[in-house]
Structure 1
Amino acid sequence: MSFAVNAAPPRSGPVTDPIRVMVVDDSVVVRGLIGRWIDEEPEIAVVASHRNGRLAVEDVERSDPDVVILDIEMPEMDGLTALPKMLAKKPGLIVIIASTLTRRNAEISIRALSLGAQDYLAKPETNSGVTTSVEFRQELLRKVKHLGAARRRRAGRPPAVPPASTGRPASGRSFAAERPGGGLGSTRPMGRAAAAPQPAARPQQPHAAPIGGRSMAGIKLRPYSPQMPRVLTIGTSTGGPQALAVLFGQIGRAIDKVPVLVTQHMPPTFTAILAEHLAKVAGRPAHEGQEGEVVKPGIIYVAPGGKHMTVEKSGTDVVVRLNDGPPVNFCKPAVDPLFDSVARAFGSSTLALVLTGMGNDGENGTRTIARAGGSIIAQDEASSVVWGMPGAAAHTGECSEVLPLDQIGPKVIRILGGQRL
């Protein structure tokens, strides 16, 4: 994907309590470049910059960052070694791993996520690539802002508010900002490089009981489908690898009865490694989906990075389709194409999960599955790293439940086991 980046308007004044960022990278060029990008954003500020993990660990308490952008390969102490040391000194710290798209770095990045990192950035392989990549800059700023804001909400601190005259984002559009309470509020500029749009503000759903007689915290819920699921499909983004590991560690053999289709927002190479990790935790086969293969029960199919994965009927079978179309919801792979296709292929026998992630990918697919008579479970806000995707799905009023992550696996087991709901 690409985004237009225009000249940043001058700041009109200081921002109260901006999100504090530490940059850790052995390249002075990369440190300087990221520092300049961040300095052009009113809501965020660099408080420390280090060339290796050892210096970062020694300084993390004094600098007190909200977010650390952490390189993997550095002298003296690499990122993977530094990560647990920083988290031990500063629990709740947001760490974003930055790595190039090699298999080794993908494996290390996914391991870092299991050790407490919150997210990852696919870094261009050369300094010149970093300098010219609008996409890398866009993703970095978006993730720092959203994850930093989420951390402040959990800590009960208000988000940084930029001066009113900082101007409009590059695209000329304003995007919805997240309220301190985790909902979606009125629009405001997001700074020089516009973040991917979040779901628009939604009025609170009425507390009157919807069809099925259920509601929760103003969110309408609909009854589960009476049909036994013939497929489990999952969409997730930020925090997804950790959430998927928890989920598949719980459900294990329960998926022997259905194929499992997963879209996780990840670049190429990373999705192949993710599939390998899911196979280990689930004790079931898992791999990237391949064009034309028949989906079978007991197998986990992961959408390959850089392609959309869908399914379609082919005689009595359902087969995987991959396409290289444009990004959907700024994502490729995206959840909505998968959910839409699953609804067409499996109808009311669909069980879908929307897990932690930024943005609103999966919102339209949730509606499509509901219209086909299927069932959707969304992860709740408290257990989500970012309650963008599951929050958007929940606010459609088409989910059957909104659950903490640790309750989703047991619920899936009961549903696949034939429990009437």
Structure 2
Amino acid sequence: MSVALTSPVAHGPVQQEPLRVMLVDDSVVIRGMISRWLGSEPDIVVAASLRTGLEAVNQIERINPDIAVLDIEMPELDGISALPLLLAKKRNLVVIMASTLTRRNAEISFKALSLGASDYIPKPESTREATAAETFRHDLVQKIRHLGARARRSSHPTAAPSLAPAHDRVRDAALRAPAPVSAPVVKRSFSSQNPKALLIGSSTGGPQALMALVAEIGPVIDRFPVLITQHMPPTFTTILAEHLARASNRPAREAIDGEAVKAGHIYLAPGGRHMRVVRHGIEPVIALDDGPPVNFCKPAVDPLFASAVDVWQGATLALVLTGMGSDGMRGGKDIAAAGGSVIAQDEATSVVWGMPGAAAHAGICAAVLPLNQIAPKLVRLFSGDRS
């Protein structure tokens, strides 16, 4: 058994308490590396470092963490088996699944999201690769910080009405969590042109939001192309495309460089490559590239949004869903400047209101809506109703 405990932090002002993280991984190298990284962050403390899921389940009440970073493959009790047991003991626990980039682990990560995990993070195949390790470190710290802060806001509600409950824990938490008070959002008018394509950008919490959305916008998909950039690594995007196809009952797959963009299809940016749309003769086609990360992301939303202006001009409709950072805001500015429309998911239903919040506060949005109101609005807009 490998356990490193700190004493629970006394309850004081929420914003002053460091986030308590429980690391659960059978690799002593990974636990040591992550512990060093998190230990250097002033607002994060490693509350425990454990080797198996069984240790985590047995000790969670004593450790009382805000966040668990949970490996998938472990002896005694693996991550996917430990997940529901941990959530049963602490319902508001933020769980970030960690796994290597294999198809099996990608499938398990998606299953974990449906079981209540908040997010996932791919572990680098080798911690000796400086770039991969630094990306992993950046992403992990940001996920812990943003998801932990949101969980604390949810557990210290001010006074906010709940929206209609949903079936799974993640959707329920996203729909019901109160949002902090923020500055008023200035909204623009919707484009005077009927939209010809739907572009979507998403990150943290995106897979769950995308699955709910595509299931309700069949009339849009049937008549118009849908292009999606979700911050995800290779293999994971392959699995996400398969899930989107099942959820929408429409063709959905990773985009292929040079293929024509047609109505009735969902095109997903493949992990590790930026997706743009360009005009080839009279028809739009997919253009993939292996350029550097944009906004720390690859694929990134901004390249897709910005490229669409050259193809559809003011007939472009972009949607910014839940996610960390500000990706999509600059590309959204280009769309708005060209006369197109941008919609952002609202704060209360976003797992993290980074990307949609940046778009909303940039003054480029025609609407900022709860997740359950976005699909009906899209169906109306693509039917020519701009009211």
So what's the TM-score if we normalise by structure 1? 0.80
Cα pair 2:92 2:155 within 8 Å, conserved = no
One-letter amino acid of the counterpart of residue 226, structure 1: S
Residue equivalent to 1:78:
78
The offset of 1:36, in angstroms, is 2.1
| 1:335 to 2:304 alignment | no
| 1:301 to 2:300 alignment | no
One-letter amino acid of the counterpart of residue 24, structure 2: V
Residue equivalent to 2:67:
67
The offset of 1:92, in angstroms, is 2.2
Aligned mates of 1:130, 1:115 — CA distance in 2: 33
SS in 2 for 1:250: coil
Cα pair 1:130 1:136 within 8 Å, conserved = no
More deviation, 223-232/381-390 = 223-232
Residue equivalent to 1:235:
201
Deviations 1:190-227 (A, max 9, x none): xxxxxxxxxxxxxx5xxxxxxxxxxxxx2111111132
Aligned length in residues: 353
One-letter amino acid of the counterpart of residue 241, structure 2: A
Residue equivalent to 1:417:
383
Residue equivalent to 1:145:
145
Residue equivalent to 1:273:
239
The offset of 1:368, in angstroms, is 0.7
SS in 2 for 1:320: strand
Aligned mates of 1:131, 1:40 — CA distance in 2: 19
The offset of 1:147, in angstroms, is 1.5
Cα pair 2:94 2:118 within 8 Å, conserved = yes
| 1:366 to 2:332 alignment | yes
Which of the residues 217, 224, 249 maps onto 1:251?
Answer: 217
Go from structure 1 to structure 2 and tell me whether the alpha carbon gap of 1:131 and 1:220 turns closer, same or farther (over 3 Å shift).
closer
Aligned mates of 2:97, 2:291 — CA distance in 1: 28
One-letter amino acid of the counterpart of residue 53, structure 1: G
Go from structure 1 to structure 2 and tell me whether the alpha carbon gap of 1:354 and 1:131 turns closer, same or farther (over 3 Å shift).
closer
SS in 1 for 2:322: coil
Deviations 1:338-385 (A, max 9, x none): 000112211121111000000000111111111111111100001111
The offset of 1:157, in angstroms, is 8.6
Cα pair 2:124 2:132 within 8 Å, conserved = no
The offset of 1:246, in angstroms, is 0.9
Cα pair 1:239 1:385 within 8 Å, conserved = yes
Aligned mates of 1:118, 1:332 — CA distance in 2: 21
Which of the residues 383, 391, 403 maps onto 2:369?
Answer: 403
| 1:136 to 2:136 alignment | yes
Go from structure 1 to structure 2 and tell me whether the alpha carbon gap of 1:118 and 1:309 turns closer, same or farther (over 3 Å shift).
same
Percent identity between matched residues is: 59
Q: Larger helix proportion, structure 1 or 2?
A: 2
The offset of 1:233, in angstroms, is 0.3
Go from structure 1 to structure 2 and tell me whether the alpha carbon gap of 1:325 and 1:221 turns closer, same or farther (over 3 Å shift).
same
Residue equivalent to 2:280:
314
One-letter amino acid of the counterpart of residue 75, structure 1: P
More deviation, 131-140/367-376 = 131-140
Query: Where in structure 2 are the equivalents of 1:371-386 lying within 5 Å?
Result: 371-386=337-352
Go from structure 1 to structure 2 and tell me whether the alpha carbon gap of 1:130 and 1:23 turns closer, same or farther (over 3 Å shift).
farther
Aligned mates of 1:420, 1:334 — CA distance in 2: 29
Go from structure 1 to structure 2 and tell me whether the alpha carbon gap of 1:38 and 1:251 turns closer, same or farther (over 3 Å shift).
same
Aligned mates of 1:106, 1:141 — CA distance in 2: 21
The offset of 1:228, in angstroms, is 1.8
Go from structure 1 to structure 2 and tell me whether the alpha carbon gap of 1:420 and 1:129 turns closer, same or farther (over 3 Å shift).
closer
Deviations 1:126-148 (A, max 9, x none): 56569982222222222212221
One-letter amino acid of the counterpart of residue 31, structure 2: R
Runs of 5+ unmatched residues, structure 1:
1-14, 159-179, 184-203, 205-217
The offset of 1:248, in angstroms, is 1.0
The offset of 1:252, in angstroms, is 2.6
Aligned mates of 1:136, 1:182 — CA distance in 2: 31
Residue equivalent to 2:258:
292
Aligned mates of 1:129, 1:301 — CA distance in 2: 31
SS in 1 for 2:215: helix
Residue equivalent to 2:180:
181
The offset of 1:61, in angstroms, is 2.4
The offset of 1:48, in angstroms, is 1.7
Runs of 5+ unmatched residues, structure 2:
1-14, 159-178
The offset of 1:153, in angstroms, is 2.4
SS in 2 for 1:219: coil
Go from structure 1 to structure 2 and tell me whether the alpha carbon gap of 1:44 and 1:287 turns closer, same or farther (over 3 Å shift).
same
Deviations 1:366-405 (A, max 9, x none): 1111111111110000111110000000011111110111
Aligned mates of 2:129, 2:69 — CA distance in 1: 18
Deviations 1:3-32 (A, max 9, x none): xxxxxxxxxxxx942100000111122222
